[in-house]
Amino acid sequence: MCSGRVDLEFVLRAFANGMDGVFIVGCRLNECNYITHGNYNALNMVSLCRRIMAHAGVNPDRLGIRFMSAADGILFADANDEFVRQIKALGPLGQSEGIDTQDLKAGLEKARKLIPYIKVMKREKLALHLDSEEAYQELYSREEVDSLLDEPVSYYIDPGKCRACMICARRCPVEAISGGKNRIHVIDQEKCIKCGTCFTACPDRFEAVEKISGASVPPPVPEEERQIKRKRRQVPAG
């Protein structure tokens, strides 16, 4: 499998499940057999992931990446042994960090939930192919990632504008929107992954979905007030 297909979700899930380290090995840079240069994507992802790990309290050194050819058997063995020694020196996940494993898992799960949002917000940076491995090390600043994770946007459906067209509910990839015919739609903030699909799907003539940043989301409209009463069309007499 191309190293470019190692998703951010895979790495964070591994740590959330208690793995002490994750080691990614890809083809040498600028030697892609398929001209996709996915190894640059992997390097970019690792740079971002290390910042996210640090935010969650996980030592970034627990994530490693190396590049070599399929013929570099000895190099692979040496690199693998070196990474294993590094992880053994750090100890079990949470030990060198001085944080309870359940707290670490909670922080990682919070970050995992925001992965679609992170990918949308950092789409342009994640597509960058820089000149060297060193150039990626400072691609994402600590402040940038902290702000991204601590102050994510939220989406809210204005009950006064919602026309219950059900377009946003059908498009939502995680079924976080409840509603139905003639019923005001509501976004379940616990299920919402902040991908913005509902925001772009809502017809321009309604503009019912609001993008909220730096403020709390209004409480959902009460269940008994969600029914939309539509006016009957008057048929001319005669």
Could you give the domains of the chain?
3-150 (no CATH), 154-225 (3.30.70.20)
Nearest to 102 by CA among 24, 10, 18: 18
Residue 234 has pLDDT above 70, yes or no: no
157-187 per-position pLDDT tens digit:
999 999 999 999 999 999 999 988 899 999 9
Mean per-residue pLDDT over the chain, rounded: 92
Q: Please compute the mean of the pLDDT values over residues 209-218 and round it to a whole number.
A: 91
Give the integer Cα–Cα distance in Å for 220 and 162.
Answer: 13
Query: Which pLDDT score is estimated for 235?
Result: 58
Query: Which pLDDT score is estimated for 236?
Result: 64
- Structure tokens, 25: 């090995």
- The percentage of the chain sitting over the pLDDT mark of 70, rounded to a whole number, equals 97
111-128 per-position pLDDT tens digit:
998 998 999 899 999 999
Residue that is written with structure tokens 């208690």 in the block: 18
- The percentage of the chain sitting over the pLDDT mark of 90, rounded to a whole number, equals 76
131 vs 84, residue with greater confidence: 84
Query: Which pLDDT score is estimated for 238?
Result: 55
186-204 per-position pLDDT tens digit:
999 989 989 899 999 999 9
44-100 per-position pLDDT tens digit:
999 999 999 999 999 999 999 999 988 999 999 999 999 999 999 999 999 989 999
Distances, alpha carbon 193 to alpha carbons 108, 218, 223, in Å:
14, 17, 23
Name 153's Cβ contacts closer than 8 Å, sequence gap at least 6.
117, 194, 196, 211, 212, 213
